[in-house]
Chain A
Amino acid sequence: MTKLFNRYGKGIGIYVLFSIVMWLSIFIIFPQMLMLEYSFWQYDETAQQQMWKDADKLDDKKYQLLLKLKDTPNDTSMKNEVTSITKEIEKLDELSKEPPKEYTIKNYEYLVNNTLHRSVFLKTIWSSVFVTVLALILCYPIAYYLALVASKKGKVLLFIALIIPYWVDELLRTFAWFMILSYNGVINSVFLSMGIIDQPIEFFQNNSAALIGMVYAYILFMLFPIYNTLETLDKNQILAARDLGASWLSIHKKIIIPYAKPGIAVGSIFVFMLTAGTYAVPSILGGTSGIWFTQIIYSWFFDGGNWNQGSAYGLALLVLCILFIMLMLKLFKVKLQDMAK
């Protein structure tokens, strides 16, 4: 820390320190902590209703007293009672405006006990794993070829070709598949007019459209990390293995795949996280039955108005992603620091 000040002087040191403190606190840590806190309480609505009832009862009592006071206007003890009751009612009104917080794990229990939500959560897990594995299988040959086989000139062209879809908006790419797979979409129109099918295929009703869209949206997040790792592989290793008579398969198994491990880990982490956390793809390609966990979270926030429940669901998703990252790092024996590349 003092190194920083010694190296760049006071002014820069203060700027760096200030930025880091702000970023860490206001942007990263406090929001997450508050989401965590939110997920562990609920507004206690029964207590609120009880307060309303109590206030009503007091109101009645006050009314009775006021009636009696009309007959005996000089009864000071009764007058005092009226003012104290009025104060109490005001207090209850004020308190019941914001219902009391009740710390509880109900929000999490709800996720576990609600069969629909639980099944969507589980579906999100296995679908994300499926998309990740599929992306890995589809990418590996391309990454291998691009890094170790392609000529320099071909590489530049292929690279441009890969970056274009990578940089086009996730939402537009999803929209493209919406056009292709929808009920009146390109595939259905073409197949119908060719007589291959006599009824449009409903890609949205099963999960196929959403899965195709997800693989499409995130596949390049798998490709580039693997490519980056493989590019640093010394090609002589492969040549030597080939000279010694190693088969095509065992070269991949013993040299290339082990070397690609960090790339595979990073790619898998990204694809899994993006897939499990996507809202765009399932909301456009998901149809009516194919709800995704993020959509439930969204509706807790904006349709149900229960932010506490939504926070708990969000936290469940976050924990899932953290567990997956830890699993990948352990499985592939990679450190987080290697990810910068």
Chain B
Amino acid sequence: MRKFNSKQILNLSVKLYFILFFLYLFLPLVVVSFAAFNESSIPTVYPWKGFTFDWIVEFFKSKALMNSIVNSVFIGIGVVVLSIPIGLAGALFLLSLGDKSRNIFYAILVSPILTPGVIIGIATLVMWNAAFDMSGGIFLSIIGQTTFISSMAMLLFMSRLQKFDNNLELAALDLGATPTQLFFKITLPFLKPSIYSSIALAFLQSIQNYNTTLFLIGTKSTITIHIGSMVKLGLTPVLNVLALIIIFFTIVLSALYVLKKKREK
């Protein structure tokens, strides 16, 4: 009887813990989203001053915000264009090396992920300034972000390539395919799913980046830089509208991602 009770208590406390954990994760997001509809001119949910769509209208009217969204998208596209080919090259390169040299190069090519974003920002700024007398802006932001997003893309490609059945290549070669044909007809189609997912990852990582971009953006602005300066200088619920939109897209993307992964299994 007692044993049963202690088990019940354990179960109950596990459940309670789960509820608290998810409350901790979600409550802030809920608060941020709801404040987008509160009439109060500072972002809050309490006191509730009345329901309004004004902030959403305001959001689309804000030129600075729209401008920073355009910059973010532009940087994101630049990062995708650079980091996907680089990441793919990295994966192909590492897998063609012997064990010993592979470990060394692996450590170097993965290091940007393990380096604080601030450091990547500084190093990029210092080098481009010293070598080409360049100062911060869209271009340097793309360069800095590409440094570590390429590593992420590389890891995605590597895990896909490790599942590759080498017999496919041998068969193609037996049938008289040239090495270049082999790459475009066999390897690349095999990599397709990971190309899509690495594009999504690279774009998402680029749009959300703050620590590296902060050092490289110069006088321009991106979504995250804009949020950062708004929180410090002039906070209005327009920011909550932005949060609401980002959270909405994240929910849709997450659901799609998990369902797709489930189907793959």
Q: Which residues of B contact A340 (CB under 8 A)?
A: 110, 155, 158-159
Interface centre among B44, B111, B117, B127 (most CB of A within 10 A): B127
Structural contact, A294 and B118, CB atoms closer than 8 A: yes
By a CB distance below 8 angstroms, the chain B residues around A169 are: 208, 210, 223-224, 227, 246
A1 pairs with B96, CB closer than 8 A: yes
Tell me if A180 is interfacial: C-beta within 8 Å of chain B.
Answer: yes
Contacts of B119 in A (CB 8 A): 35, 277, 314, 317-318
A269 to B116 alpha-carbon distance, docked (Å): 11
Given the known inter-chain contacts A301-B215, A339-B110, A340-B158, please indicate yes or no for A314 contacting B122, CB distance below 8 A: yes
Q: What are the residues of chain A within 8 A of B126 when measuring CB–CB? A: 31, 34-35, 38, 307, 311
Interface status of B61 (Cβ within 8 A of chain A): no
CB distance from B172 to the nearest CB of A (A): 11
Taking a contact as CB atoms under 8 Å apart, the answer to whether A273 and B116 are in contact is yes
Q: Please state if A171 and B224 are interface contacts (CB–CB under 8 Å).
A: yes
Per-residue CB contact flags for chain B residues 28-43 toward chain A (1 = under 8 Å, else 0) read 1101100100000011
Contact A283:B228 (CB < 8 A) given known A27-B146, A32-B123, A294-B118: yes
A27, B150: Cβ atoms under 8 Å?
yes
Bound: A269/B110 CA distance, A: 13
Q: Are A6 and B210 in contact (CB under 8 A)?
A: no
B194 part of interface (Cβ distance < 8 Å)? no
CB of B64 within 8 Å of the partner chain: no
Residues in chain B near residue A185, CB distance under 8 A: 44
A325 cross-chain contacts in B, Cβ below 8 A: 114
Contact B211 A8 (CB under 8 A): no
Determine if A165 and B26 form an interchain contact, defined as CB atoms under 8 angstroms apart: yes
Please determine whether B106 and A336 come into contact, CB atoms closer than 8 angstroms.
Answer: yes
Given B26, B45, B118, B247, which contacts A277 in the complex, CB threshold below 8 Å?
Answer: B118
Type the 1/0 row for B194-213, where 1 means its CB is closer than 8 Å to any CB of A.
00000000001000101100
- Closest A residue, CB atoms, query B103: A337
Q: Is the CB of B92 within 8 A of A172?
A: no
Give every chain A residue within 8 A of B125 (Cβ-Cβ). 301
Closest residue of chain B to A297 (Cβ to Cβ) is B118
A28 to B124, CA, bound (A): 9
Distance in Å: Cβ of A197 to nearest Cβ of chain B: 15
Are the C-beta atoms of A301 and B114 separated by less than 8 Å? no
Stretch at the interface among A9-17, A70-78, A87-95: A9-17
Contacts of A314 in B (CB 8 A): 118-119, 122-123
CA–CA, A3 to B116, complex, Å?
Answer: 34
> Is there a chain A Cβ closer than 8 Å to B167's Cβ?
no
Asked if B134 CB lies within 8 Å of chain A CBs, one says no
Interface pair A317/B180, CB less than 8 Å apart: no
Chain A contacts of B96 at CB under 8 A? 1, 3-4, 7
Tell me how many residues of A have a C-beta within 8 Å of chain B.
88
Which residues does chain A contribute within 8 Å of B18, judged by CB atoms?
Answer: 142, 145
Q: Mark B61-95, 1 if CB is under 8 A from A, else 0.
A: 00000000000000000000000011001101100
Contact residues in A for B147 (Cβ distance below 8 Å): 23, 27-28, 31
**CA gap between A337 and B179 in the complex, in Å:** 29
Task: For chain B, give the interface size range.
Answer: 35 or more
Judge whether A298 is part of the interface by a CB distance below 8 angstroms: yes
Q: Is the interface of B mostly helix, strand, loop or mixed?
A: helix
Residue pair A164, B254 in contact (C-beta under 8 Å): yes
Say how far B99's CB is from chain A's closest CB, in angstroms: 10
Residues of B within 8 A of A159 (CB): 258
Q: Which secondary structure dominates chain A's binding surface? A: helix
CB distance from A222 to the nearest CB of B (A): 13
* Cα distance A141–B257 in the bound complex, in angstroms: 24
Q: How far apart sit A8 and B119, CA to CA, in the bound complex (Å)?
A: 36
A20 within 8 A of B: yes
A167-B180 in contact given A24-B108, A277-B211, A318-B116 (Cβ < 8 Å):
no
The smallest beta-carbon distance between B156 and chain A, in angstroms, is 10
B215 to chain A, nearest CB (A): 7
Check: A156 CB closer than 8 A to any chain B CB: yes
Q: Are B211 and A19 in contact (CB under 8 A)?
A: no
B210 pairs with A189, CB closer than 8 A: no
Given contacts A27-B143, A161-B22, A169-B224, contact A190 B44 (CB under 8 A): no
Q: Does B31 lie within 8 Å of A180, measured CB to CB? A: yes
- Chain A residues closer than 8 Å to B253, beta-carbon distance: 167
| Extra inter-chain contacts (18) besides given A186-B44, A280-B224, CB under 8 Å | A9-B179, A15-B89, A29-B108, A31-B120, A31-B123, A31-B147, A142-B17, A164-B254, A168-B250, A170-B210, A179-B43, A179-B44, A180-B28, A189-B47, A190-B46, A276-B116, A280-B211, A298-B215
**Using a CB–CB distance below 8 Å, which chain B residues touch chain A?**
14, 17-18, 21-22, 24-29, 31-32, 35, 42-47, 85-86, 89-90, 92-93, 96-97, 103, 106-112, 114-120, 122-127, 130-131, 143, 146-147, 150, 155, 158-159, 169, 178-180, 182-183, 187, 204, 208, 210-211, 214-215, 223-224, 227-228, 231-232, 239, 242-243, 246-247, 250-251, 253-255, 257-259, 262
Q: Which 6 A-B pairs have the closest CB atoms?
A: A277-B116, A9-B179, A176-B28, A19-B89, A31-B123, A9-B180
Using CB atoms and an 8 Å cutoff, list the residues of chain A in contact with chain B.
1, 3-4, 6-12, 15-20, 22-24, 26-32, 34-35, 38, 138, 141-142, 145, 156, 159-165, 167-173, 175-180, 184-186, 189-190, 193, 216, 269, 273-274, 276-280, 283-284, 294, 297-298, 301, 307, 310-311, 314, 317-318, 321, 325, 336-337, 339-341
Can you report 12 residue pairs joining A to B where beta carbons are below 8 Å apart? A7-B96, A9-B179, A11-B180, A23-B89, A172-B227, A176-B243, A178-B231, A180-B27, A279-B214, A314-B118, A317-B119, A336-B107
